Structure 1
Amino acid sequence: MSGFGTPAHLRRDRLSDKIAKDIQDRVLSGELTVGDRLPSERDLMAHYGVGRPAVREALLWLNKTGMLSVSNGDRTRVTEPDPRDMLQLLSGAAKMLVARAEGIRQFQKTRIFVEVALAREAARLATDDDIADLEAVLLRNESCADDIPAFSATDDAFHHRIALIAEDPLLDALYHVVLELLEEQRRTSLSHPESLGKAQAAHRRIFEAIRDHDADRAEAAMRDHLETVIHTYWGIREQASSSP
């Protein structure tokens, strides 16, 4: 095949892994670039001297990593990896971690690191449009004082709008993955009768610090907010475990 040189020797075991690595190496070396089409499955089978299952398994794995786009009716293409797809590959192991108390604590700490950094960046970088959008989301959140599902949705929107100000796709993806893993923590914390009021007051302090471009104050407000959520969660867990 033109432009697709002879492959290195492939052992008969784990052929799909070898094929995936060969294609990956071609992408990383620049031989294949974003938008390039790969040969058809039939041509790849002939090229590597393997059956269809090995080729399909290799392509599907590279599709899962975000390196390739595999679709019915069109040739496989090299794509620009999405940071969210890359982090989702870790979600299986991460879910095992959050099944244990220590794993939850680790991800709570990670969330603080990520969101504190995002709050600082937001205070530094926020434009007038960013501030107007963030205030609009905050006002929607403040209008949900007695509606936990609506509060949860607007809470997500508030934190996500802060994340968007940094314009960092990897941080944004990490924020979403960690938030998803801590969903049970968030639901539990919101069940406390004082949680919504405390969270709304914290959101207001975070917003005002970002509006005033005060990075130190934004960092402190976000840290205090998340530490309060964590404290509430473990307090509820401890109370539940000690109840008869």
Structure 2
Amino acid sequence: MTPALRLQNLHGYYGKSHILQGVTLEVGQGEIVTLLGRNGAGKSTTLKAAVGLVTPERGVVELEGRDVTGRAPYQIAAAGLSLVPEDRGIFQLLTVEENLRIAVRKGSPWSIRDIYRIFPRLEERRSNGGGQLSGGEQQMLSIARALLNGPKVLMLDEPVEGLAPIIVEEIVTQIRLIRDAGVPILLVEQNLAVCSQLADRHYILELGQIVHEASAAQFRSDPETIDRYLGVKA
């Protein structure tokens, strides 16, 4: 089966700094895949290169077998690759419902009713301004807006960073529901407990290169590798 997303030998630069040095990974249909690594390894840059925010110097980005390498970000988004960035990027002065309505895309299988089913907290806050939401609620809104575009693959950059444990649990449940609804997910996350709960497979990135790949079971049973590359005791 053709992978939902494939990055092949991706190289990317910030100025003269060679950040991505041949990144190769794939996300299969129905999978949640994590991209792990220390700070500065190139995780966020990988996501940005996939959606065209960083122009790859070499390599290929394929979305369901379709080459989208080097296209403008709006073209890649229209093709079905959605990134929820770390800064969330919601409109602070618009209400929750207004934030959602401007994200609705014609032909998308996702409606605002679907969003409220997965994110009941957003329905409760639908008349609140984006700037009145907690950090966790803003994260939910950012993910919800991406879904309304009808993504073929959803990429999440640090979705639970800095959030209270009860909100983390809520977002973990919501990510599962999104995957179960048929949206494959590439997840960048530092919280290893969250990654272990969610992911089917894991990649570890170090200095712009994939240095380890493992299934969920292999990852759980190999604390030495986790400690070597991530610098934490599993």
TM-score, length-scaled by structure 1: 0.23
Q: Indicate the structure with greater helix content.
A: 1
TM-score, length-scaled by structure 2: 0.24
